Amino acid sequence: MLAWTVWGISDYRKLKLALARGDREALIREYKVTIAGEVVGGALALAAVGWSILGADPDVDLAITGIFRSPMYGGIAGLALGVLASP
């Protein structure tokens, strides 16, 4: 966590320097690295805790959360979200 934070500071500083040079591609690269980090981090959290991480209290459950509790349907929903979010 600490290493990730220190890396983030350094990475953000490099991004600002690149943008100051007019290198707008650096921002796209930063976005791609961020997305990769989110995917890896989320996958690690899921691996560490399991699908119950998404589990809702039955008393306040929403119908759609049932989708995310199933690995198969969760994967399909995740893919659909990815397609919708892609540029």
Partner 1 sequence: MARLTKGRQGPVLVGDIGALIPVSRRERGWYAAVAVSAGIGEELVFRGFFLRLLNDLGLDGLALVVVAGVIFGLAHVCQGVAGVLMTTVIGILLGLIYIATGSLLVAMLVHALMDLRLLLLTVPAAPEHEAAGAADPS
| CA-wise closest residue to 55 among 46, 81, 78 | 46
Amino acid identity for residue 80 in this structure: A
Q: Could you tell me if 74 and 68 are in contact, meaning their C-beta atoms sit under 8 angstroms apart?
A: yes
The least distance separating partner 1 from the CB of residue 15, rounded to whole angstroms, comes to: 5
By CB under 8 A, name the one of 3, 21, 55, 76 that touches partner 1: 55
Concatenate the DSSP letters of all residues of 4-40 into one string.
HHHHHHHHHHHHHHHHHTT-THHHHHHHHHHHHHHHH
Q: Does 70 bind partner 1 (CB under 8 A)?
A: no
What span, in angstroms and rounded, lies between the C-alpha atoms of 44 and 24?
Answer: 31
Range 8-37, binding partner 1 (CB under 8 A)? 8-9, 11-13, 15-16, 19, 24-25, 27-28, 30-32, 34-35, 37
Q: Does 79 bind partner 1 (CB under 8 A)?
A: no
Pick 41 or 71: Cβ nearer partner 1: 41
Q: Does 76 bind partner 1 (CB under 8 A)?
A: no
Q: Does 81 bind partner 1 (CB under 8 A)?
A: yes
